[in-house]
Structure 1
Amino acid sequence: MPHDRMLHATKHPLTAARDAAGLTVEQLARIAEFEPAVLQAIEARCHRPTLGELNALAQVLRVKIVDLRE
């Protein structure tokens, strides 16, 4: 399987971190002050998060920024 297909076959690191925290997309969006659609787009790999977005999410999820990057 080509590398790009493997990336899409696995969970986005944000999804894994959110799941580990026991949060829904809506809950994380509310806490991090994001629109749920933005988080959904990141998790679907349709939006590449900015450093600022990653920082905000990492703080809420209590993980390192590098843990949320692909």
Structure 2
Amino acid sequence: LQQLMQQQPKQQLPDPVDHTEVLADMKNELKKSQEREEQLLAIVQQLQSDLDELKKSPIKSKWKFWGKD
């Protein structure tokens, strides 16, 4: 009975799977994703700043392209 009890857990538990490589890949992808997010946020901030500058410009200057004053 003791032998049976000792063998049983070994038969039920599979060998542990080494996920070290997968974890490293996931960390790398997470870092790339965070860098892309930072770049996108910088672009959005620049666009917002440009939009604010356009809103401040006088209306007359916007129509000069069309030949109107």
Q: TM class by shorter-chain length?
A: under 0.3
Highest CA radius of gyration, 1 or 2?
2
Could you say which structure has the higher helix fraction? 2
Instruction: Please give the TM-score of this superposition, normalised by the length of structure 2.
Output: 0.24
Instruction: Please give the TM-score of this superposition, normalised by the length of structure 1.
Output: 0.24
- Which structure has more RCO (C-alpha within 8 Å, separation ≥ 6)? 1
